[in-house]
Amino acid sequence: MVTRQRGGCLFAVAVGILLMAWIGSILWTAIDEGAVPDDSSFLAIPSPSEAGAVSTRCGSGGCSRIMTVNVKPPQAPQSLAAEMGLTQERCEPMNLWTMRRTCTGVSGDARGLQIYLQYSPFFSKY
């Protein structure tokens, strides 16, 4: 009987520690606006185009990782984005540990195609 009570107590302590760690992770995520996904989260670039420079840009909504893509014929920026499935922003499922998801999208300008990665927190309006 004493062993059963001790096991229940240890289980409750373990659950409490795990719950505190999860809440701490969520709070850290909420205040860490400078966090950006790893470069490994970028999608593979179909040939013959190539991945170019990767940089970090920050603004009022947080920070993003930006990859400039060297688009080569016969591909065009729009067709390459469509081939990669990035005609609109797409987000991965929510990470339950951090309560945020990684979103990927494209933007184009005179310099060509740029792919961005950014975190979208659970509580974000974006």
Residue 2, pLDDT score: 53
Q: Tens digits of per-residue pLDDT, 1-16? A: 556 677 788 888 889 9
Q: How far is CA 46 from CA 16, 39, 87, 95, in A?
A: 47, 17, 15, 27
- At 125, give phi and psi (nearest 5°): -85, -5
Please give the model's pTM, rounded to 2 decimal places.
0.73
